[in-house]
Structure 1
């Protein structure tokens, strides 16, 4: 896109990710947001460097440009700003498992906006994977099979919060029209059209394949950096290789309902007396 903004853009990897220098989110213009949004659709995750002075008000206002901001039901929030979740390594805020945020909801979030405010001396990077590329790298017969399946996503946190949703294994992005793989190791329990053994084997293959290095980028944070990722087409992983404190403030933008091809088969029904295990819950209590 053509823009008069004096911003510098650097690609983070060949797979995904773009870093922007020269935009201040405290004084974000419509033109600046349009540039960020365009780069997000092209590169799936955008990093805005040097936002050390970002105010909570500007953080929330930035999130609302994408859509409705979530008031999270159970994670700690910034005092006076219920839209902002506090991610603190001292309180279990370490999720070293590949995942897409909150796929256990019927309408998972479309984006997350994380502001890193404190970092350890070394380590604490985050990785993302491009699920467009994952899907496109699968063989044609595999893509054909997956296009006709759904998956169950689930979380349970003690007795306080439980959520379960069924989504297409391959979803179509509502803005780009591209297809991407939409399962993740943390929240996807099983594929209900298959036997459990078939589902386990296929999902493990898809999880491992989607985590392959050629589909990823790795970002080395500096205090004050902001990351915005498209939750509809990425997974991410917080690298737990550090000592000391790592703190961030995150806003989640509420989602749309994932769409794809309708399932081509009914849910598998076990024969009488045949065991079919209940939902598998891999989710950790803090993520």
Structure 2
């Protein structure tokens, strides 16, 4: 399969494509427009062989998508604060399915990860297509979820940094108009319209269903590869099956407030005398 400018190779039936023949250090408006189209088509794209990508060019590529984030707590590249370091020897192994920073009111639009050092074996990353997850649910389940919201929250270790946001359980993509499931195991705390037991049971089902292999692609990194993923419609998981160093540099592009259907019910209020257990808040070290 080939695009009009370069070679496009899908890597699974669910999502993901390798892009060959692009130099991000020589990016034109025409090539960027095609890369953005491919991102919307495949949800995650892998631009191979970018060994010469400089930090400045990495940031410039991110700025073509939108405003680049200055991350509040991850380590940053010296002299380039827009780039965060993902280092396996400094807490950079997040082997839990998640969507980046859904605990913010405006979670990221996309992330751009440049792998600069890979282990000789292992260290793959998996992504899942949350469009397909939503579309494979039954009609009654989709109808229920369309009327719910979920609280996303985090606390970083023992620090004072914490963030919390409430988003639709089903998100409408602002560019494609398609609906997708928008909860994740790492940051979604509870569904406030339900009792705690109901919320825990429903979320556990959704987490397990959304992580099914039929929705997933798995990528074997090579040094110099760049991955761009649409954070509005994917989850990802870094496979922790290696002992050698693995290091990447990531630029994150700020997004908008997730949009979906209006909640059809008020937040659950426990009757007098019944305790409603407080929300679980994740405590993450060096996320």
**Would you call these one fold, judging by a TM-score over 0.5?**
yes
Cα root mean square deviation, aligned? 1.1
Name 2:185's counterpart in structure 1. 185
Name 1:104's counterpart in structure 2. 103
Deviation, structure 1 residue 189: 0.2
Tell whether the 8 Å contact from 2:155 to 2:282 is kept in structure 1 after alignment.
Answer: no
Asked whether 1:139 is paired with 2:125, we answer no
**CA shift digits 1:81-113 (9 cap, x unpaired):** 000000100001000000000000000001000
Name 2:251's counterpart in structure 1. 251
Structure 1, unaligned runs of 5 or more: none
Tell whether the 8 Å contact from 1:44 to 1:229 is kept in structure 2 after alignment.
Answer: yes
Structure 1 segment 67-86 matched on structure 2, within 5 A: 67-86=66-85
SS of the residue aligned with 1:156?
strand
Deviation, structure 1 residue 272: 1.7
Deviation, structure 1 residue 199: 0.2
- TM-score, normalization: structure 2? 0.98
Name 1:275's counterpart in structure 2. 275
Tell whether the 8 Å contact from 1:187 to 1:283 is kept in structure 2 after alignment.
Answer: no
SS of the residue aligned with 1:207?
helix
Name 1:63's counterpart in structure 2. 62
Deviation, structure 1 residue 284: 2.2
Name 1:262's counterpart in structure 2. 262
Name 1:225's counterpart in structure 2. 225
SS of the residue aligned with 1:144?
helix
Misfit runs of 4+, over 6 Å: none
Deviation, structure 1 residue 273: 2.2
Tell whether the 8 Å contact from 1:95 to 1:286 is kept in structure 2 after alignment.
Answer: no
Name 2:126's counterpart in structure 1. 127
Structure 1 segment 39-50 matched on structure 2, within 5 A: 39-50=38-49
Structure 1 segment 198-209 matched on structure 2, within 5 A: 198-209=198-209
Asked whether 1:195 is paired with 2:192, we answer no
Deviation, structure 1 residue 3: 6.6
Structure 1 residues 67, 143: CA separation in 2 closer, same or farther (over 3 Å shift)? same
Whole-angstrom distance in 1 between the partners of 2:235 and 2:68: 20
Structure 2, unaligned runs of 5 or more: none
Give the total of aligned pairs.
285
Whole-angstrom distance in 1 between the partners of 2:282 and 2:154: 8
Structure 1 residues 48, 3: CA separation in 2 closer, same or farther (over 3 Å shift)? closer
